[in-house]
Amino acid sequence: MTKDQARYAAKPTRFTVFQRTFLPLQLIRFVVINMKMLDIIRRSHRAMHRAGQ
C-alpha cells in the first residue's frame, strides 16, 4: 500500500449505505442492542444479590 492509498477511506458499497440509512433496520438494531444490554445488566444485578446473601 502506498502513502496515497492509505490516506483515503474505502467507499462503502450500496448495500452498506442502505443498511446505514434504512430506518426500520436501524430501529430493529437499536432494540436488539438494548435488549442485550438489559440482559447483561440483569445478570450483573442477580450476581450482586447472590453475593450479598
pLDDT in tens, the chain (53 residues): 666 667 888 999 999 999 999 999 999 999 999 999 999 999 998 888 787 66
Residue located via cell numbers 492509498: 5
Residue located via cell numbers 452498506: 16
Question: Would residue 4 count as lying in a domain?
Answer: no
| Alpha-carbon separation of residue 9 from 6, 13, 48 (angstroms) | 8, 12, 45
Instruction: Please report the pLDDT score of residue 7 as a whole number.
Output: 80
Instruction: Please report the pLDDT score of residue 8 as a whole number.
Output: 85
Residue 22: give the domain boundaries.
Answer: 12-52
Question: Would residue 19 count as lying in a domain?
Answer: yes
Question: Would residue 7 count as lying in a domain?
Answer: no
Instruction: Please report the pLDDT score of residue 21 as a whole number.
Output: 96
Question: Would residue 1 count as lying in a domain?
Answer: no
Instruction: Please report the pLDDT score of residue 39 as a whole number.
Output: 96
Provide the number of structural domains found in the chain: 1
